[in-house]
Amino acid sequence: MNSVRPHGDFLRFYVTSSENKDAEYLVDLDCYWGTGWCNCPHFKNRLEPKLAAMALRLNHRIHHEFRCKHIRSAVLHLGQALADELLRGKMKNKENHEQS
């Protein structure tokens, strides 16, 4: 599993390389209609050219098959962070109801 940390900009993350723990890639989930973008060699050399060439046919929707493992890790990280927030909200709500 690649470790993920927020970049600070909207929907951008740093994701560690699984081959070299000191290397990090930049992932931007606000690219290609939510499919995402990554500066790793696999995405830049293999996935992005296909994505760009097929852009019109892809119908501007999210295409999971064009996501490298770093983009997938960032999506998973974001989903878990959202779930954590929702669970915290749910528990807080429950506490408020129990107090009243």
Q: At closest approach, how far in Å is the CB of 54 from Zn ion?
A: 18
* 47 forms part of the interface with Zn ion (CB under 5 A): no
Cα distance between residue 43 and residue 37, in whole Å: 7
Q: Which residues contact 92 (CB under 8 A, 6 or more apart)?
A: none
> Phi/psi class of residue 98: alpha, beta or left (left: φ > 0; alpha: ψ in -120 to 50)?
alpha
Q: Which stretch binds Zn ion (CB under 5 A): 2-10, 48-56, 69-77, 91-99?
A: 69-77
* 43 forms part of the interface with Zn ion (CB under 5 A): yes
* 38 forms part of the interface with Zn ion (CB under 5 A): yes
Q: At closest approach, how far in Å is the CB of 85 from Zn ion?
A: 26
* 29 forms part of the interface with Zn ion (CB under 5 A): no
Q: Which stretch binds Zn ion (CB under 5 A): 5-13, 20-28, 52-60, 74-82?
A: 20-28
Range 39-50 burial, b when 16+ CB lie within 10 A, else e: ebeebeeebbee
Angle at 62 (CA atoms; ends 58, 64), nearest 5 degrees: 100
* 68 forms part of the interface with Zn ion (CB under 5 A): yes
Q: Which stretch binds Zn ion (CB under 5 A): 29-37, 39-47, 76-84, 87-95?
A: 39-47
Partners of 12 in the beta sheet?
28
